[in-house]
Structure 1
């Protein structure tokens, strides 16, 4: 199988040095791609972007358009002609190294590991074959279910809050599929996160990654780099930027959770509601869900929103408490736990009792102590971990399928901080 190393005119890339660049129309680009595939060339996103003098995002759109029309077969990192059984594009070493170095020059990252290091699935039998058979298609041999051999690389924030629970769930689910797990913790430093991912990709036993990058990973090139990684990548509790649509995602269904919170408040007679948020990787998503739910309900008299409130910013917390009192708020949803505890203490100093005067639900519910129990909307992190592993394995076995998004319903933890409105 030939890997794309030629220009749109059929001459080598070296032969076109110094030639006038041409901006192709979408139809022209797509015709060129189809022509290359008809000659048995495996097209890669990064190579096409250079050859067609456009961006990787534009190339992905062209490939998706052709795939949707049933003209090509989309695979991770590029595309093949219909009927081609290739599921991963293994670049020639010199080509892979060149594109990786060029990407690192743009992003400041170390070169991405070559696709040739990917561990392949090994059909086998195991004690867990029957359980896997219910989830994945059977192998070519009757009675056998394909199993995988290798390791799942995991990168989560420093081990606190819910992440240890999620990591343990991933390890248990991976073990059920005879897979190992390599869990790394990040300090939310962008460079540190990139180094961790690079190190995981350099391990030839790693068959996929489950990642929870920090909010600081905002550069489009970094997300596109993850999108074109040589192994499947599943994002856990993270929403990539607009335009990055090739990654599988497992997230807490905060829209359903927020709706349940608001419905509960309304059922108890609360009409003046409030939302207070600390800035976290999921806070904007929670805010969007809150505005969407409360904005369409006539029964809600008011629903103020305060964002980017630091839990230990006494002035900021005092300001939120004052607004809640001035507006006659009787029920609040607060994220995170630290902010909920700080706000509850501040409100009580102003004579607002809980839940007598104000009901409060905390989003997280992992650190509220017994001395101040708060009803919580908590992510089902055991299920989130299990679902992440299953999604990664399904992607590995079926790399051609469209990107998936799985929403995991949150849990309600009742702790007595919600009561009927007075």
Structure 2
């Protein structure tokens, strides 16, 4: 175990160089986390993968030792979600969600997603240059996830503003994040009541039906229902936005890989895993708390202390991936950890995969001369350790 001199700011600015340095020194580091408290950072692939599925590492904040965790506090109604739960509650809720989040429902979204993508590209076409985040990578996922849940079109702009505020809060205006949470809670509470009265063919109506099942078997509590809707929208929007944008940036800075996809468009479907590995939207896993003293990478982590699993580091570990810092759209033996591993594997993975495939296929087909509109050195990423995403992506075509 070593204490790293790398700062949070350095890892935000250049995470892959920073994590490479950490991996070379030791598998586990005692560092200062984003909240100013010490955390245990796990950096090597084998340890991260094992820890992701280790039942001794709890997601439930009740297992945090006093004073060891000061993360952003959601109200209880939004906090009762899968990212804060262990079995048996996690098992119960995930099983119920899976019943509503069916393969059929996801497959039925392909046509509508393709239509949304083409409509957005139609609007972009006359401009010749635009911020791809604002014009395409952002509007596409928010439309898809809101259609899936049944969120009315008139409320979708508010959701983008709320999620942006929560992902990159202004440290000088903490009241903004609090206001965004309150607004989202109020909206979801009202929307659930409206769906309960007038259900429709959408995921939220199906989840309400599960919640209100008369036999009471495995039902969701009202808080679990509300927080689940919040989680699906938040994760389904935010992660996919940056997965698409990061993939486009990777291609625009690797012209030989872009040429390969243009020559063989069928490669796009299989390249999702490489984009997720190379520059995924979530560099760190959700924090975990050992239920007992746990040995990771030869280091004993005391019970109750905070553990962060460096997904971005694991995905560039040369002991797992050949030439890990190279983007290779033909790479197929990935085993990346961007979608998690074990019981917390990403529930929305099939939807994210389909959205990204459709978004890239349509974009590359419509604009064969797509290029960055600024030097790559001028691009700015969100100032957040837990989210890897651009603030803007200026392109010309």
Report the TM range for the smaller structure's normalisation: under 0.3
Larger Rg: 1
Q: TM-score, normalised by structure 2?
A: 0.28
Q: Larger relative contact order (C-alpha < 8 A, sep ≥ 6)?
A: 2
**Which structure has greater strand proportion?**
1
Decide which structure has greater helix share.
2
